[in-house]
Structure 1
């Protein structure tokens, strides 16, 4: 039986196959990431239209490097730091 693999996004925003599961989920079009148990993401998944845009990251550093921002719902403190420019990435005007 082949080993289990997962498709994750790398720091360059491109998918790759990993032998480790992602620790964070994200939304490709909205360029945000959050916890896998985020109530907002789970509600969107239950409604249906979200799954095609779902991506996964190995860790927060990779998500940030790929240009994604923290979710304000499940990661409010990380979102506040990102918004203040304290996560080492610039806030883009179209994302404020």
Structure 2
């Protein structure tokens, strides 16, 4: 049986293979990261959008290092902190 691999985005914004799935999803064009069950992302995916620009991260540290910001919908507190720091 072959082990499943996942493609995640690293801090250097380059994809790499991992045996562990990502814990966060993101959108490559808008550079936003959020929870995998984010209602906003799932709604957009259901309408047929977002999928071609979808990326996944191992954790929040890597998402931030790659230059992504928190989603205002599923991570409102983290988004407010990010926004106030801008």
TM category (shorter chain) comes to over 0.9
TM value normalised by structure 2 = 0.97
Please report how far the alpha carbon of residue 2 of structure 1 lies from its aligned counterpart in structure 2 after TM superposition. 1.2
Q: How many residues align?
A: 86
Q: Structure 1 residue runs of 4+, over 6 Å off?
A: none
- How far apart, in 1, do the equivalents of 2:82 and 2:62 lie? 14
TM value normalised by structure 1 = 0.87
Please report how far the alpha carbon of residue 83 of structure 1 lies from its aligned counterpart in structure 2 after TM superposition. 1.1
What SS class does the counterpart of residue 3 from structure 1 fall into?
coil
Aligned runs of 1:76-91 on 2, under 5 Å? Answer: 76-85=76-85, 91=86
**Residue aligning to 1:20:** 20
What SS class does the counterpart of residue 55 from structure 1 fall into?
strand
Q: Residues 26-50 of structure 1, C-alpha deviation per residue, up to 9 Å, x if partnerless?
A: 0000000000000000000001021
Aligned runs of 1:1-96 on 2, under 5 Å? Answer: 1-85=1-85, 91=86
- How far apart, in 2, do the equivalents of 1:49 and 1:32 lie? 15
